[in-house]
Structure 1
Amino acid sequence: MTRVPEVLLRHRVGIEPYLGDSAYGPTYGPAIEAVPALVAPSPRMARAPDGREFTAAATFIAAPDLDCPLGSRITLPDGRTATATIVARHTAPGLPVPACTEVSCE
């Protein structure tokens, strides 16, 4: 399986992995800074796993082994903060296309 070439991942995002809810609200793990990604900052319509439609503030692709649970807090290159609403892993075993992880943020 080939990976998305690092040279194509021109942006850097920050990820605070979602750990769950506590009595005081959502809890996050330690921030992972400067994760290589290719960010598409233009809004687009998306459908969350629960079926609701929303406008994704940004979508980005990163390495196929990216650890970004749903609900993670994402810091985009322009400083905006968003929440990971859709995380999709794209693979094509046996085909000469790169594998990646696609994250849509709300």
Structure 2
Amino acid sequence: MTRVPPSLLRHRVGVEPYLGDGAYGPQFGPLVEHPALVGEAVRMARAADGREVTSTAQIIAAPGLECPAGSRVTLPGGWITTAISTAAHTAPGLPVPASTEVMCE
């Protein structure tokens, strides 16, 4: 299976994975930077609980990106947003690169 070519991942995003809620609110893992391709466009997306929400940024990254819904994402311009959903794209046997797509609020 091919991966999305690193030469296409022109941006850097920071991801603090959502770990769950604690006594003092949401808990996040350490900030990890990843190469990605970021598109800032307004689109409708479906949240994990089924609500339709507006996504203002979409991220394409290499397969295996750890970014569950609720994670904090720092975009290239310094804007901090929240991950709505994450989807792994694979197509075994086809000449399509595997990638991870993250929809952000």
TM-score when normalising by structure 1: 0.95
> 2:4 corresponds to which residue?
4
Q: Tell me whether 1:26 sits opposite 2:10 in the alignment.
A: no
> Residue 89 of structure 1: SS of its match in structure 2?
strand
Give the Cα separation in 2 of the matches to 1:79 and 1:45.
23
Give the Cα separation in 2 of the matches to 1:89 and 1:17.
16
> 2:93 corresponds to which residue?
94
Q: Tell me whether 1:44 sits opposite 2:43 in the alignment.
A: yes
Q: How many matched pairs?
A: 105
Gap runs ≥5 in structure 2 = none
Give the Cα separation in 2 of the matches to 1:41 and 1:24.
32
Give the Cα separation in 2 of the matches to 1:31 and 1:81.
12
Confirm or deny: 8 A CA contact 2:68 2:85 kept in the other structure: no
> 1:16 corresponds to which residue?
16
In the TM superposition, residue 42 of structure 1 has moved relative to its aligned partner by 1.3
In the TM superposition, residue 28 of structure 1 has moved relative to its aligned partner by 0.5
Gap runs ≥5 in structure 1 = none
TM-score when normalising by structure 2: 0.96
Q: How does 1:41-80 map to 2 (within 5 A)?
A: 41-80=40-79
> Residue 98 of structure 2: SS of its match in structure 1?
strand
Task: Tell me which moved more, 94-103 or 40-49.
Answer: 40-49
